[in-house]
Structure 1
Amino acid sequence: MSQADPTPHKNELNTLVDHLFRKQYGKMVSVLTSIFGFQQIEAVEDIVQDTLLEAFNHWSYGSVPDNPEGWLMQVAKNKSLNYLKREKNKLRVYSDHAENTSSESRINQLFLDTEIEDSMLRMIFACCQPIISKEDQVAIILKTLCGFGSKEIASALLIGEEAVNKRIYRAKQQIIGENIQLQVPIGQELNQKLEVVCTSLYLLFNEGYNSDHPEHLIRKDLCLEAMRLCKLLTSHFRKSTKVHALMALMCFHVARFESRQDEKGAIIIFEEQDRSTWNKELIQSGFYYLSEAAKGEALSAFHIEASIAAQHCRAKDMDSTNWKFIHTLYEMLYEYKPTPVIKLNLAIISSKIHGLDMAIEQLLKLRNEKKLQRYYLLYATLGEFYRQKKQEKAAIENFTKALSLTSSGKAKSFLQEKIEMLKG
């Protein structure tokens, strides 16, 4: 491969490898699992991590290839061939995958783009097994296919890291113990598994859209990877209204990417966003997928969330937004998904209809919700409402509390600026 590009600065290299890790991790795990079988998932993850480490070391002292994704896949393929030659007898004991896929021509075929996509799809559904709890299924998908660390999964699920590690360990042991195969289910079993798959992609997208990363408010790579996988699902499951509703939701949110930060990367709150920068093509795509989602009789939480996002995209400005209808949609959403975060959103929308006092009263009650006690957006919202009521002391207290609960550098800067402005 051509080695045309000069070696980037170390920070740029870290960013590149992190981006490729997000984009390629699940693909490499999926195709290698097709070679070795699910029972060798630990070995597969070792090979993938070794490949990414080799990329970082090689590119640090040389230069980044013209096609870094292809470079990674080639290295992963070579490592898999070496591993098969070295461990062939052992692998034969555990599964017939090594026997069926050990030829170089067969492995080359598995690394074709179309096969990689099919491998991703099979891997997603293979993680969704009735013997594994839905919570553990989501954790193993986020870890194995999305490359999430324990901290990111804990943030996405609003649980502790120790609980996350237990879930992943439990799921892997059950997958290995039950000799689970990489197959896409059919019939009723498909519908049951599609629920968990959609939930996992939804959480992946959310982690990108409201990132807790120290440097990035928006992890575009995570959002786009979630969209890519969801688009893959819409191609394979054209009659699934739930998948189309999720795709619509993603389109509506990604359409607002450019308006959420200023030129320096600082946060722009929703009320102050320039709607002329919203991506009209993505909004049109969102309405297309939403219309496809409306063709069935089933209603899901994704339908309702996409409808809420659609209301914002339809409105010309804040004043023309149909807040009463959005509040009704959130009440419906709470019936489908009775979570503290939905309660938080209901309180925020209440401020538009019933005023700040009622909204603050609702938010104060939410401080007793265990899953929200370390959720910085609860306190940031309280701080903002108190600021609007000109209760500076209460606003500073809540902004300070929010500041202590987030690791996002952009969020910290935003909150610190609010505090200093109030003190000034």
Structure 2
Amino acid sequence: MSDRPPPDLKDRIARILREDRGRLIAALIRATGDFHLAEDALSDAFEKALQHWGRSGMPDRPDAWLLQVGRRQAIDRLRKQSRHAAQAGEIRRLMDEDQEAQGALPPEIPDDRLKLIFTCCHPALDPKSRVALTLRTVGGLTTRDIARAFLDSEIAMGQRLSRAKSKIAKAGIPYRVPDPPEWEERLGAVLTVIYLVFNEGWSAGPGEAPIRSTLCDEAIFLARLLLTLAPDDPEIEGLLALMLLTFARHGARLGPDGAVVTLDEQDRGLWNSAMIDEGLALLDRAVARGRPGAFQLQAAIGALHVQAASPAEVDWPQIALLYDRLAAVMPTPVVRLNRAVAHAEAGAPEAALSEIETLLPDLDLYQPFHAARADIAARLGQGDVARASYRAAIEMSRSDTEKRWLAARLARVRPD
């Protein structure tokens, strides 16, 4: 232990919470078998960290310290519950684990995140709850973040998460990676969850942090882990390829002043060529298996972007065709929005804007909808529509740099 607390203690604890929460909560759920108890115990541990580390400094292994304190907080909470006698065995087991940890070198925390994902994605839960619960527990997203991703209210999402945790406890859903025969019914939800974690990291966050690399890294790690368990699955390969081809562009996504740089204006020399090569190789292997799926189609779209030598050489007609196929297998409003944008770039902006207008009831609270609508309307000379849509997009943006970029676009649009 250091003698003096670091001056940036709260920032360092917040960073640990972002980077290690998934592993810590997974380890505590494995130890307690209870989602609610594990989350409460970890929250207690972070409160204790603020108190103790402020006096004594940070330990050499903050994650191991938090896990041990979280385990003890779980024991205390179990003791205070009215059904103490019924949980005596669980308390004894946690105490044994705590005793074994004392006096030993802090061990590496076992990575149980994959077990946690498959538990959250059990078919006993409805598909929406599977995704939301995994984003909350593994990705560490707040209830507000998840509600925004699903275009739900925060209250409704909180209730959904609580019901899902309770159902897992009551149904005795096992905490493990399932055997291969059980994979098919859960794999689609698991892949969707991993991609949503990636997207939350890639999309603009509050303040001045448009890319939260930790969440992107987490999603890529989990996809790699899945691929070691099922090395011949083309959709896992497609998902990993998609994330690599996207994240390869992160070094060019912000300008020197921190402003957002659009894809067609990025310096392609700043893209990560090794990551692109790996993504393209994965996509080639997946396609060769002859079992196309939604993630492979999205990866193929990403490949066409990164393989073009310049924005003028992007094959938009081929991208539009790929989006047509994607919309046939995954006809969500967001996919239809992206399809419309692709057709606008391929030379059909009028038809694209007509399609976008039909999506207004579904995507009115989705910021990219308003940004896309504004851009295409501006191209067609519909200044009033473009200005109103840019204002809506600015209001919904979570990134200051994105707001400035949209405001600059707005300033160039003349009213009708």
TM-score normalized by structure 1?
0.87
Match of 1:18 in 2: 14
Deviation at 1:305, TM superposition (A): 0.6
Structure 2 residue identity aligned to 1:75:
L
**1:165 and 2:158 correspond:** yes
Relative to 1, partners in 2 of residues 1:96 and 1:137: Cα closer, same or farther, differing over 3 Å? farther
The separation in 1 between residues aligned to 2:177 and 2:88, in whole angstroms, is 19
Alignment of 1:28-177 (within 5 A): 28-37=24-33, 40-58=34-52, 70-81=61-72, 83-84=74-75, 87=78, 93-94=86-87, 98-100=91-93, 102-104=95-97, 112-113=107-108, 116-117=110-111, 119-177=112-170
Relative to 1, partners in 2 of residues 1:93 and 1:376: Cα closer, same or farther, differing over 3 Å? same
Structure 2 residue identity aligned to 1:32:
L
Match of 1:27 in 2: 23
Q: Deviations over 1:175-214 (max 9, x none)?
A: 1111222122113312211221111111111111113424
More off after superposition, 371-380 vs 388-397 = 388-397
Match of 2:371 in 1: 380
More off after superposition, 333-342 vs 207-216 = 207-216
Q: Secondary structure at the match of 1:386?
A: helix
Alignment of 1:9-408 (within 5 A): 13-14=10-11, 16-37=12-33, 40-58=34-52, 70-81=61-72, 83-84=74-75, 87=78, 93-94=86-87, 98-100=91-93, 102-104=95-97, 112-113=107-108, 116-117=110-111, 119-367=112-360, 370-408=361-399
Q: Secondary structure at the match of 1:116?
A: coil
Deviation at 1:382, TM superposition (A): 2.1
Partners of 1:255 and 1:278 within 8 A in 2: yes
The separation in 1 between residues aligned to 2:378 and 2:278, in whole angstroms, is 37
Deviation at 1:72, TM superposition (A): 2.8
More off after superposition, 252-261 vs 371-380 = 371-380
Relative to 1, partners in 2 of residues 1:354 and 1:144: Cα closer, same or farther, differing over 3 Å? same
More off after superposition, 22-31 vs 234-243 = 234-243
Q: Deviations over 1:275-300 (max 9, x none)?
A: 11100011112123223423534322
More off after superposition, 317-326 vs 235-244 = 235-244
Deviation at 1:405, TM superposition (A): 2.7
Deviation at 1:160, TM superposition (A): 2.3
Q: Deviations over 1:289-315 (max 9, x none)?
A: 223423534322111111111111111
The separation in 1 between residues aligned to 2:227 and 2:139, in whole angstroms, is 19
Gaps of 5+ in 2: none
Q: Percent identity?
A: 27
The separation in 2 between residues aligned to 1:243 and 1:28, in whole angstroms, is 25
The separation in 2 between residues aligned to 1:116 and 1:29, in whole angstroms, is 11
Partners of 2:45 and 2:73 within 8 A in 1: no
Q: Deviations over 1:143-182 (max 9, x none)?
A: 1221111111012222222221121111111111112221
Partners of 1:22 and 1:221 within 8 A in 2: yes
Number of residue pairs matched by the alignment: 411
How much is the aligned-residue C-alpha RMSD, in angstroms? Answer: 2.8
More off after superposition, 390-399 vs 378-387 = 390-399
Q: Secondary structure at the match of 1:363?
A: helix
Partners of 1:205 and 1:223 within 8 A in 2: yes
Relative to 1, partners in 2 of residues 1:83 and 1:383: Cα closer, same or farther, differing over 3 Å? closer
Relative to 1, partners in 2 of residues 1:331 and 1:97: Cα closer, same or farther, differing over 3 Å? farther
More off after superposition, 294-303 vs 130-139 = 294-303
Deviation at 1:366, TM superposition (A): 2.2
The separation in 1 between residues aligned to 2:77 and 2:343, in whole angstroms, is 63
The separation in 1 between residues aligned to 2:285 and 2:90, in whole angstroms, is 39
The separation in 2 between residues aligned to 1:364 and 1:62, in whole angstroms, is 59
The separation in 2 between residues aligned to 1:123 and 1:96, in whole angstroms, is 23
The separation in 2 between residues aligned to 1:421 and 1:58, in whole angstroms, is 54
Q: Secondary structure at the match of 1:129?
A: coil
Deviation at 1:421, TM superposition (A): 4.0
The separation in 2 between residues aligned to 1:195 and 1:169, in whole angstroms, is 23
Q: Secondary structure at the match of 1:357?
A: helix
The separation in 1 between residues aligned to 2:185 and 2:77, in whole angstroms, is 39
Structure 2 residue identity aligned to 1:24:
D
